[in-house]
């Protein structure tokens, strides 16, 4: 018999009427012949209200007691939902996280799911009930109630769908799907019928806050299709699955992040272990770092730029200043008036000219690009915050994200779960469900690097560079531009196939002299070392583990870039094999 998980968020169960409406949706699915598990959030602003209440008693509520308190929000709505279904003449049983057997670790307020028991759920379902599960909660080994972090009911829902091998996991919410960008910011944004897990993970990390990131990680890891749709209409929403709607299109979505600030460390001695020193100190203060860009510097010094949450800038700066002193780096500076604009798409990995198109759109709008970093499926640039809205707009239009697809989209078809269920279970044997899993540690030894130094800080340079490079038929992989520092000059590096190096250098030199840049350097053989997997974002420290492993082997990092699904570093070509061995050893415990 088919099984459907339906999750209703706080706004979808905010009033008795809405609870009854949700109950009818579940009953309808039941009458269509499915077994139904509902997952509910707390009604409306209940969780916020409970937090306020606690804060009126004390400003330091014990975390354990907070979870005891917050879990009651979901317990309320789940009991009410069971009553609603019963009143409409159908059988229902409500269950708390503990009753289901959602086992978590003991990290109160942001616990991770370790395992879920299915026996009780299945028994209650087989007796003909609709099961209503309280979202967002579990118990640790000592039976303490835990919660999964704000927005965690999504994660409960997808996790339940995964362990029950559900045919669908429907997330009912107050928006009708996933858009190419936030429709409140860009009204032309289009709802997509389908988006991939990886794209969604990137977009979620960029603040496109429709779904709890960890729920997407579950989807990807356990191959569970997720359907995000409106609780107030019946129109289909967006499927989050392995493949996007239009795999041939380079970009599926765009986003703007305004709550990050930039830190730049100049003249970092270009030797093993310096990045580690800096990032380990930031991590020790529990601050997450984003958009790391390290560029090859002149005379043995590198520039290191990265962003941190704006509200943690002061603490981060303290940590960085300490580290900079220790490693003998130069000035540490901060910039709080930037914003990050990103485009995301699985399709860009297979196409050329994508970055160029983005840079060209920004140049045409007169917007200066401060920093650039590209990964396989994401390009991010830093622009002045007061121009960021416009930047998002022109980029969204340049990639035709506002236009409906030219040819009709084939409907997504579920594949039978029979075979993958066994494979997935085998793959994750002996693991906790939310453990970090690394799918791949890889070495690409086929590339060379070109670096243009002393690039003037004015609009249009990146566009010109990559236009000419592309025009010369050169295939660019990674692009890294560090934030302009000394005398407003930036450093721009990119990687190309080794056999195109001479050609690339000729082109770069021509551009450098045309645009009065300082000069061009290159490295004929570099090694790109990558670690990819699930949970790279929510398990901080993957990049640090990588830096540590390479630094212990005395391997120097030339370029760094990070994304939600992959961390890449570029090292000297002769160090590739050695680096690869180091990384395989460093990640052996989580490599699947
Ligand atoms: N009620 C919890 C919150 O508001 C969990 C959820 O809604 O997903 O964060
Ligand atoms: Mg909520």
CATH code where residue 536 lies:
3.30.2130.10
Closest Cα to atom 9 of ligand 1: 150
The reply to whether 278 and 368 lie within a common domain is: yes
Contact predicate 144/67, CB 8 Å: yes
Q: Answer yes or no: do 210 and 326 share one domain.
A: no
Mean pLDDT of 282-302: 80
Q: Are residues 312 and 338 in the same domain?
A: yes
Given 217, 245, 273, the domain boundary residue is 245
Q: Indicate if 262 and 172 belong to the same structural domain.
A: no
Q: Are strands 3-8 and 35-40 parallel, antiparallel or unpaired?
A: parallel
Is 210 found in the same domain as 298? Answer: no
The answer to whether residue 470 is domain-embedded is yes
Chosen domain end from 212, 245, 278: 245
pLDDT digits (tens, 9 = 90+) for 162-206: 999 999 999 999 899 999 999 999 999 999 999 999 999 999 888
Identify whether the C-beta of residue 38 lies closer than 8 Å to the C-beta of residue 131.
yes
Q: Is 425 inside a domain boundary?
A: no
| Ligand 1 first shell, C-beta below 6 A | 9-10, 41-42, 47, 73, 135-136, 150-153
In a domain, 417, yes or no: no
> Do 229 and 359 have their domain in common?
no
Query: For residue 419, what pLDDT is reported?
Result: 47
**DSSP character at residue 242:** S
* 127 burial type by CB count under 10 A (0-12 exposed, 13-18 middle, 19+ buried): exposed
Which residue, judged by its Cα, is nearest atom 5 of ligand 1? 151
Residue 207 in any domain: the answer is yes
Strand (E) or helix (H) holding 301: strand 301-309
In a domain, residue 92? The reply is: yes
- Average predicted confidence (pLDDT) for the chain: 91
Whether residues 290 and 210 share a domain: the answer is: no
321 in any annotated domain: yes
Q: How far is the C-alpha of 126 from the C-alpha of 153, rounded, in Å?
A: 24
Residue 111 CA to ligand 2 center (angstroms) comes to: 16
Residue 545 pLDDT greater than 80, yes or no: yes
Tell me the chain's radius of gyration from C-alpha atoms. 25
Q: How far is residue 346's CA from residue 7's CA, in Å, rounded to a whole number?
A: 27
Alpha helices in 58-189 (DSSP H): 63-87, 97-100, 119-126, 153-163
- Please check whether residue 173 lies inside any domain of the structure: yes
The model's pLDDT over 367-417, given as tens digits with 9 standing for 90+, comes to 999 899 998 899 999 999 999 999 999 999 999 999 988 777 777 777 655
User: Which helix (H) or strand (E) segment is 255 a member of?
Assistant: strand 253-257
Which listed ligand is nearest to 97 at the C-alpha?
Answer: 1
Residues 151 and 190 in one domain: yes
Same-domain pairing of 485 and 542: yes
Indicate which CATH number applies to the domain containing 111.
3.40.1160.10
Token pair, residue 450, equals 């070109």
Using the predicted structure, report yes or no on whether residue 573 has a pLDDT greater than 60.
Answer: yes
Which pTM value belongs to this model?
Answer: 0.91
- Are 230 and 342 in the same domain? no
Q: Three-state SS for 106?
A: coil
Which residues share a beta bridge with 323?
none
**Is 549 a member of any domain?**
yes
Report d(CA 205, CA 208) in Å as an integer.
7
For residue 150, which atom of ligand 1 is closest to its CA? 9
Domain that holds residue 292: 256-402+441-586
pLDDT tens readout for residues 336-380? 999 999 999 999 988 888 999 999 999 999 999 989 999 889 999
- Do 104 and 56 share a structural domain? yes
DSSP 244-307: -S-TTSS-SEEEEE-SEEEEEEEEEE-STTHHHHHHHHHHHTT---EEEEEE--STTEEEEEEE
Residue 431: phi, psi to the nearest 5? -110, 155
- Using a CB cutoff of 5 Å, list residues around ligand 2, an ion: 10, 41
How many domains does one find in the chain? 2
Q: Do 169 and 50 share a structural domain? A: yes
What is the share, in percent, of the chain residues with pLDDT greater than 90? Answer: 69
The residue among 185, 212, 245 that closes a domain is: 245
């Amino acid at each position: 018999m088919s099984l459907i998980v339906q999750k209703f968020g706080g706004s979808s169960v905010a009033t008795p009427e809405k609870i009854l409406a949700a109950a009818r949706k579940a009953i309808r699915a039941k009458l269509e012949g499915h077994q139904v598990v509902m997952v509910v959030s707390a009604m409306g602003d209940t969780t916020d209200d409970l937090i306020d209440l606690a804060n009126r008693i004390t400003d330091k509520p014990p975390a354990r007691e907070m979870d005891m308190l917050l879990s009651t929000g979901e317990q309320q709505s789940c009991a009410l939902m069971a009553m609603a279904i019963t009143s409409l003449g159908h059988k229902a049983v409500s269950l708390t996280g503990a009753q289901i057997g959602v086992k978590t670790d003991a990290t109160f307020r942001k616990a991770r799911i370790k395992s879920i028991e299915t026996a009780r759920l299945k028994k209650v379902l087989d007796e003909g009930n609709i099961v209503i599960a309280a979202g967002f909660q579990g118990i640790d080994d000592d039976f303490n109630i835990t919660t999964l972090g704000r927005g965690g009911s999504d994660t409960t829902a997808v996790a339940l769908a995964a362990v029950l091998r559900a045919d669908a996991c429907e997330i009912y919410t107050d928006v009708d799907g996933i858009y190419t960008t936030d429709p409140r910011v860009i009204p032309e944004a289009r709802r997509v019928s389908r988006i991939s897990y990886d794209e969604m993970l990137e977009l979620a990390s960029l603040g496109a806050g429709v779904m709890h990131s960890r729920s997407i990680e579950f989807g990807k890891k356990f191959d569970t299709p997720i359907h995000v749709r409106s609780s107030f209409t019946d129109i289909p929403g967006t499927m989050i699955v392995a493949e996007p709607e239009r795999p041939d299109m380079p970009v599926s979505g765009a986003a703007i992040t305004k709550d990050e600030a930039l830190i730049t460390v100049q003249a970092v001695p270009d030797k093993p272990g310096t990045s580690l020193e800096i990032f380990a100190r930031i991590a020790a203060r529990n601050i997450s770092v984003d958009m790391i860009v390290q560029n090859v510097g002149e005379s043995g010094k590198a520039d290191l730029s990265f962003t941190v949450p704006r509200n943690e800038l002061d603490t981060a700066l303290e940590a960085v200043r300490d580290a900079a002193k220790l490693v003998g780096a130069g000035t540490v500076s901060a910039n709080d008036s930037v914003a990050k604009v990103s485009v995301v798409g699985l399709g860009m990995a297979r196409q050329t000219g994508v970055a160029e198109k983005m840079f060209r759109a920004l140049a045409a709008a007169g917007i200066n690009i401060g920093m650039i970093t590209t990964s396989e499926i994401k390009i991010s640039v830093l622009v002045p915050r007061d121009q960021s809205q416009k930047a998002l707009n022109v980029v969204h239009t340049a990639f035709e994200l506002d236009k409906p697809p030219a040819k009709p989209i084939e409907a997504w078809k579920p594949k039978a779960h029979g075979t993958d269920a066994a494979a997935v279970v085998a793959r994750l044997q002996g693991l906790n469900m939310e453990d970090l899993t690394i799918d791949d540690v890889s070495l690409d030894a086929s590339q060379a690097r070109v670096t243009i130094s002393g690039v003037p800080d004015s609009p249009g340079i990146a566009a010109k560079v990559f236009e000419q490079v592309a025009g010369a038929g050169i295939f660019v992989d990674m692009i890294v531009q560090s934030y302009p520092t000394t005398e407003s000059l930036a450093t721009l590096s990119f990687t190309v196939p080794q056999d195109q190096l001479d050609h690339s250098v000729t082109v770069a030199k021509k551009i450098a002299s045309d645009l009065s840049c300082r000069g061009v350097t290159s490295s004929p053989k570099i090694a790109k070392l990558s670690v990819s997997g699930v949970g790279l974002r929510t398990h901080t420290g993957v990049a640090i583990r990588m830096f540590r492993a390479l630094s212990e082997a005395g391997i120097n990092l030339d370029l760094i870039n990070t994304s939600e699904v992959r961390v890449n570093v570029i090292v000297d070509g002769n160090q590739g094999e050695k680096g690869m061995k180091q990384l395989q050893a460093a990640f052996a415990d989580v490599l699947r």
